[in-house]
Structure 1
Amino acid sequence: MTTDKTATPERGWPVLLPPALLTLLLGFWGVERGGSIWRDEVVSYQVAHRSLPEIWRLLHEIDAVHGLHYLLLNTVFRLWDGGLPALRLPSVLAMALAAGALAETGRRLAGRRAGLLAGLVFALVPAVQQYAQEGRSYASVCAAVVLGSLLLVRAWQRPTARAWTAYGAVMLIGALLHEFAVLAMAAHALTLCWGRAGRRVWAGWAVAAAAVLAGVLPLSLISRAQADQVAWITTPGWSDVWAPALTSAVGALCACLRQPAAPGAPCRARALALPLLVLPPAALILVSFLDPLYVDRYVVFSYAGLALLLGLALDRAWARLPRALTEWPVPGRPVVASLALTVLVLAPLPLERGLRTPQSRPNDVAAAARAARDLGRPGDAVLFVPGARREAALYDPAAFAGLRDLALARTGADSGTINGVETGPERIRAAVAAQRRVVLVTDPRPRAGASARDQAKLAALAARFTPCRTRAIHGITVTLYTVRGACG
């Protein structure tokens, strides 16, 4: 498709601001989730509070894939150590940026109304609201991919070196935040094929893509050497596949609708949206049958493609309404639009409220820390099974003040690890045998393949202790053990 260099109208603020503001509003609503925080967020929280040399040392051992996000959060906490709101602030702002960028992309490709509707739909997608309130990198990756998609459209319209440099820089940032963002560039290649881009456009994209791949290659090599940290991921099953399959089917149906391009658009919006929706999750799922890597949050940016396609479908539906409705008198249009927006926002309200509760995440580490504080008393010992459950003490050290960690030999900051290094099994058994009260923080269900250290902890407790009191926290169990006969 040839490029018409007559630019689309420059005034995009009325289109991109409402979705961005709605996303901000929804992002800040209940951002603390009742004071709860789950394990992955705890890692972000405690690593971001370390010094820069300590973070750098950690990244040489584990979690290099999240290194740029940790550095971003470290900067945020240096400026404002505001607890959970500060932890989640970058994600809220990133999703707001993504909503505005998606609306502008839709405006350039399909017109103002389609762009506005796409941005509003994006703000209301449950996954978008979920990851807008998580202190991880996925919202920032989504923002980089959506902004990069907008810059791709701009570079396609005006293929200058500056435009392709901006596109490549933003996509590189996304890939450095999480390397699977490069799958979005593969989707962009399909978009160029679908839109029959010219040689000049292909040349600019190829240079930008090569620069991104070269820039992310060192991170990919390091993260590949740290592959043990994703050993928990299993081969995809139906529970993993049905959601992306359903959204892809819905997107494909929307793409079948007649969707005229906006004046000056280099391609139709569906040529950008459908590959972005389908290719990243599909490619990662297929690869995962050989090397399990698929987790839905790794490709949350694919929901931008779904939102754009749904926005186009709503735009087509509006165009087919009776003229008596579409030609409503001008003074009444804001009222009608406000009512429609209210219905659109309130319809998913029960689901939105659920996303802002502790039960919306796999576990609640903050509640586990409070339970340990309530069950224990100064002088008691504490054990974590597995050792990764030490995240409760790392997030809220005050709750464990006065409790002695019997297994810990070196802290995470000192050892360049996330949860620290534990002593040997024999020392753990001897240390437990000398106690009268032990607080155990563990998973509700024992995991197969427990380490020798964890087996030593449980065996030492079984030898002379009995459970006295238990708190079943969401996703975590905290139990006070006492020597037999001393529970009262």
Structure 2
Amino acid sequence: MGLWGIRRQNTMWGDEAVTYQLAQREPSQIWHTVQQVDLVHALHYAVMHVVFDLFGAGLLSLRLPSVLAMSVAASGVGLLGLRLVGPRAGILAGLVFALLPQVQKYAQEGRSYAMVCALVAWATYALVADVPRRDRWRWALYGLTMLLACLLHEFAVLALVAHGVTLIISRTPKRVRRAWGVTAICVVVGLLPLVVVSAGQSEQVSWIDGPVRPYPLLVGVAVGLVCARAPLRSGGPVSVAALALPILVLPGALLLTVSVIKPLFVDRYVLFSDIGVALLLGAWLDHVRRLPRYTPAVYVGVVAALAALVPSSLSLRTPQSRSNDATAIGAAVREKGRPGDGLVYLAGRHRILAASNPEDTRHLTDLALAQGPVESNTLAGVELPARDIAARMMQFHRIVTVRMAREDSLPDPQEKAKTDTLRRHFREYATTRVNGARITVHVQDHGPLPKAAALPTANNTPSGRNGYYRPAA
């Protein structure tokens, strides 16, 4: 399922573009960059840097680790079903997991979410295996796996909470709860430095202005609750419902609760909740299969469900399934721009969207850029002061602008200087709309002002090649 349409028509969306560009930097550059921004994804960038070193940078090497990770997650779900219910339930749970739309989506994404899901699935399996045993190394393995998941993405710690609730409602012996408590404390202590430092980078999630698409999670919770009402078989001290319901309900519920104070909920942050719905559906299908009078209805229902998944599976493999298309944005900039034109990003933080293919902007002059992303150890580079940006814009007859479709006006003085200069001195000549962005050519009403000798005229000048701009004294 992951290999089917993995290239997504040779397109890449914004978050993947960040991974693609950062993973190609040297390890020291990655480290210096995450000190300023995106520390929460530092481990993933390091892993992808190794992948790119071994196999080269490209769409396949960007996404194959997620495909493999989600396959590992599916095997973990299958083994959980086997241990908790039986072999048929395990097979069904693993197959259901692989077919879930959210799983299909993030199995083909060059981000950390599939890896987190795989680690949480196997940590959950280690937890279930630890309950009837006293081996300390098993708890150490569980703790190490959970810590790796949390270091890949902090919100994986919510699965740790769900595991604790599972042990409590399963009435496991005190020694088991005590061992889990010690392990959980070790995981939290190991995660604490990342939490403290990344808290200072909270502007990275400022784009979340409310709950973002909670509907897949809510549907999964509703399906899981219905399945849990059936008398599902259980073959050990932990029942399938006691394990699956907390991991399905609690992470999303906790994140939604926190979002009342500060918006943080995004469905992919709790992707591992799909482990719970897959286990419950697999156990429920196994239960219904053993009721002869319902067998024909089950087969009809399964066929209908598979048929209903086809449109979703097809749409997930198109560029339109993501909120933007960095490849299309770069291609539109190249198509609209002429050699020597100016280039302005509204806002500057979106510069990374058109930087995946340097050929798209090679012949244009980035008018606001003072220092490039690599040299400044940032995602989108460092921009000039507002006055210098306006002065540079006035020296160009044509300027190509890139504006995100949902971008609001920013109070930043540099962004204000860009929009004010365009409004007062330029008129729109042509606009192209692509998935997630508008690329507009602006033409100056009057001839451009003479260019100062110290101003670079294109990105391929000596100063532009290194990403630096030195204004005239």
After TM superposition, the score normalised by the length of structure 2 is 0.90
Distance 2:420 2:230 in 1: 64
Matched with 1:218 is 193
Match for 1:231 among 181, 187, 206? 206
CA offset digits 1:109-154 (Å, max 9, x no partner)? 0000111111111001100011111111111111111111011111
Distance 1:324 1:279 in 2: 33
Match for 2:369 among 401, 405, 408? 408
Matched with 1:259 is 232
1:200 aligns with 2:175: yes
Match for 1:467 among 416, 421, 428? 428
Give the Å deviation of 1:241: 4.7
Give the Å deviation of 1:243: 4.2
Does the CA-based 8 Å contact 1:91-1:134 persist in structure 2?
Answer: yes
Does the CA-based 8 Å contact 1:33-1:357 persist in structure 2?
Answer: yes
1:38 aligns with 2:13: yes
Does the CA-based 8 Å contact 1:386-1:450 persist in structure 2?
Answer: no
Matched with 1:360 is 321
Distance 1:321 1:212 in 2: 47
Match for 1:380 among 332, 338, 341? 341
Q: Which moved more, 1:51-60 or 1:460-469?
A: 460-469
Distance 1:226 1:35 in 2: 32
CA offset digits 1:261-289 (Å, max 9, x no partner)? 13xx2321111000000000001111121
| C-alpha spacing 1:485/1:434, structure 2 compared with 1 (3 Å) | closer
Give the Å deviation of 1:341: 8.3
| C-alpha spacing 1:180/1:444, structure 2 compared with 1 (3 Å) | closer
Give the Å deviation of 1:395: 0.9
After TM superposition, the score normalised by the length of structure 1 is 0.87
Instruction: Give the gaps of 5 or more residues in structure 1.
Output: 1-25, 327-335
Match for 1:101 among 44, 56, 76? 76
Matched with 1:476 is 437
1:434 aligns with 2:411: no
Amino acid at match of 2:225: A
Distance 1:356 1:109 in 2: 34
User: Identity of aligned pairs, percent?
Assistant: 43
Matched with 2:288 is 317
Query: What is the correspondence of 1:257-336 to structure 2 with a 5 Å cutoff?
Result: 257-262=230-235, 265-322=236-293
SS at match of 1:121: helix
Distance 1:402 1:324 in 2: 65
SS at match of 2:274: helix
Amino acid at match of 1:278: V
Instruction: Give the gaps of 5 or more residues in structure 2.
Output: 448-473
Matched with 2:23 is 48
Give the Å deviation of 1:343: 7.2
| C-alpha spacing 1:211/1:324, structure 2 compared with 1 (3 Å) | closer
1:131 aligns with 2:106: yes
Matched with 1:250 is 223
Amino acid at match of 2:412: S
Matched with 2:4 is 29
Distance 1:340 1:246 in 2: 17
Runs ≥4 residues deviating over 4 A = 239-243, 322-326, 339-347
| C-alpha spacing 1:340/1:449, structure 2 compared with 1 (3 Å) | closer
| C-alpha spacing 1:352/1:243, structure 2 compared with 1 (3 Å) | closer
| C-alpha spacing 1:193/1:300, structure 2 compared with 1 (3 Å) | same
Matched with 1:14 is none
Distance 2:114 2:187 in 1: 20
| C-alpha spacing 1:470/1:241, structure 2 compared with 1 (3 Å) | closer
1:84 aligns with 2:59: yes
CA offset digits 1:409-432 (Å, max 9, x no partner)? 011121121100000111111111
| C-alpha spacing 1:268/1:435, structure 2 compared with 1 (3 Å) | same
| C-alpha spacing 1:288/1:444, structure 2 compared with 1 (3 Å) | closer
Match for 1:449 among 404, 407, 410? 410
Amino acid at match of 1:119: G
Does the CA-based 8 Å contact 1:469-1:480 persist in structure 2?
Answer: yes
Q: Which moved more, 1:374-383 or 1:170-179?
A: 374-383
Match for 2:36 among 51, 61, 64? 61
Distance 2:208 2:8 in 1: 26
SS at match of 1:348: helix
Give the Å deviation of 1:199: 2.1
Matched with 1:7 is none
Amino acid at match of 2:230: L
CA offset digits 1:246-269 (Å, max 9, x no partner)? 32222112111101213xx23211
Give the Å deviation of 1:390: 0.9
Does the CA-based 8 Å contact 1:365-1:476 persist in structure 2?
Answer: no
Does the CA-based 8 Å contact 1:378-1:402 persist in structure 2?
Answer: yes
Amino acid at match of 1:385: L
Distance 2:4 2:306 in 1: 13
Does the CA-based 8 Å contact 1:159-1:204 persist in structure 2?
Answer: no
| C-alpha spacing 1:49/1:364, structure 2 compared with 1 (3 Å) | same
Give the Å deviation of 1:323: 10
Matched with 1:163 is 138
Distance 1:312 1:464 in 2: 66
Amino acid at match of 1:319: R
Query: What is the correspondence of 1:144-183 to structure 2 with a 5 Å cutoff?
Result: 144-183=119-158
Matched with 2:455 is none
Distance 1:48 1:123 in 2: 28
Does the CA-based 8 Å contact 2:214-2:267 persist in structure 1?
Answer: no
CA RMSD of aligned residues (A): 2.2
Amino acid at match of 2:250: L
SS at match of 2:430: strand
Match for 1:70 among 45, 50, 66? 45
Distance 1:167 1:212 in 2: 10
| C-alpha spacing 1:323/1:185, structure 2 compared with 1 (3 Å) | closer
Distance 1:224 1:93 in 2: 31
Amino acid at match of 1:261: S
SS at match of 1:134: coil
Distance 2:29 2:102 in 1: 33
| C-alpha spacing 1:207/1:435, structure 2 compared with 1 (3 Å) | same
Distance 2:52 2:213 in 1: 35
Structure in which a larger fraction of residues adopt helix: 1
